Amino acid sequence: MVNAQLYTRLNNGLDMPLLGLGVYDMHGPEAVTAIICALETGYRLIDTAAIYRNEAEVGQALRQSGLPRHQVFVTTKVSNAQQGYDQTLRAFDESLRRLGTDYVDLYLVHWPLKATRRATWQALEHLYDQKVLRAIGVANYLEPFLDELATYAQVVPALNQVEFSPYLYLESLLRRSQTDGTVLQAYTPLARGRRLDDPKLVALARQYGKTPAQIILRWLVQQGVSAIPKSVTPKRIRENFGIFDFSLAAADCQLINGFHENLRVVDDPLPLL
Ligand SMILES: NC(=O)c1ccc[n+]([C@@H]2O[C@H](COP(=O)([O-])OP(=O)(O)OC[C@H]3O[C@@H](n4cnc5c(N)ncnc54)[C@H](OP(=O)(O)O)[C@@H]3O)[C@@H](O)[C@H]2O)c1
């Protein structure tokens, strides 16, 4: 059911699938197999990063899948160690080489490091001007970082990838992103599995005949938030994609908004301010 999935339009007109495969913490043949499984399932968005050390595996899976390059949306990110203007330009070339492609769809500043985030963003703007990537964005930019970025950015970020789940429901950041025209993308959307046994969530899953993970992912995409769950398990890769044949009632979305408990499974970016 490849065509049944939902897309969103970035602020430069580029279409991006709302649901993708995150590939943090997978390597070698395990990663290649998982990514090919996802592509066969219908995923058309892969989220990697230089720091994940698996861009080569992403490239290999893309080629092995036989899909035309333009059909898969590939995101990668500049690592903290390579931030800064010149270093970022070099880092981008290295990512392209490892991926074995001549462009990426989306390139992100991985973390808003105080000393280097401005120069890093300016390098991304330069790469965007050069048309060697299709869109640029940021990750881990909570509102104060966006306020600062707005003072010097020439290009509005197409996307902001942040930790976000029912248990970390950043409502004001979501509203801000909608106003700015920046797509919000949820990383660790499943909170690494830590709340999949939450009785409130399990009750909803029973009601809809779906799994807890599917309820969370549907809640995200239904409000236009992109989600990039990670799995190396074929059954779960398919399960996580099975969210395009039902929808949640508005009242149930409201209910899920109330699951918020400020749960973070990754570092809080705010101390970097
Ligand atoms: N920008 C950033 O700073 C940043 C930070 C963190 C993550 N990310 C991105 O976001 C992606 C997702 O985040 P994440 O990998 O940290 O966490 P996640 O997607 O919330 O959770 C992944 C974990 O949940 C398990 N899982 C997946 N589907 C499941 C299901 N249907 N039922 C039960 N368990 C399931 C996976 O196990 P198996 O793999 O064993 O199946 C894995 O242990 C990453 O891969 C990465 O691309 C970005």
Instruction: Please write the tens of the pLDDT for every residue from 145-166.
Output: 999 999 999 999 999 999 999 9
pLDDT higher than 90, residue 270: yes
What is the pLDDT confidence band of residue 126, given thresholds at 50, 70 and 90?
very high
Tell me the pLDDT tens digit for each residue of 185-242: 999 999 999 999 999 999 999 999 999 999 999 999 999 999 999 999 999 999 999 9
What is the pLDDT confidence band of residue 134, given thresholds at 50, 70 and 90?
very high
What b/e readout covers 62-83, taking b as 16+ CB neighbours within 10 angstroms? beebeeeeeebbbbbbbbeebb
Q: Which of the residues 7, 24, 43, 52 is marked catalytic?
A: 52
In a 13 Å sphere around the CA of 69, the CA atoms on its Cβ side amount to: 10
pLDDT higher than 50, residue 1: no
What are the angstrom distances between the C-alpha of 71 and each of 36, 198, 266? Answer: 14, 37, 31
Asked if residue 273 is part of any domain, the answer here is: no
* Inter-helix orientation angle 199-208/212-222, to 10°: 80
Give pLDDT, residue 5. Answer: 82
Structural domain range at position 78 = 2-261
Structure tokens at 148: 């600062």
Q: Which among 20, 3, 15, 4 is positioned nearest to 240, based on CA atoms?
A: 20
Q: Which atom of ligand 1 is nearest to the CA of 231?
A: 39
Ligand 1 binding pocket includes 161 (Cβ within 6 Å): yes
Asked if residue 99 is part of any domain, the answer here is: yes
**Which domain CATH number covers 177?**
3.20.20.100
The predicted model scores a pTM of 0.98
Please indicate whether residue 167 is annotated as part of the active site: no
Asked if residue 234 is part of any domain, the answer here is: yes
Asked if residue 267 is part of any domain, the answer here is: no
SS3 3: helix
Asked if residue 115 is part of any domain, the answer here is: yes
Asked if residue 246 is part of any domain, the answer here is: yes
Ligand 1 binding pocket includes 54 (Cβ within 6 Å): no
How many residues does this entry show for the chain? 273
Centre of ligand 1 to C-alpha 270, Å, is: 22
Structurally, the chain folds into a number of domains equal to 1
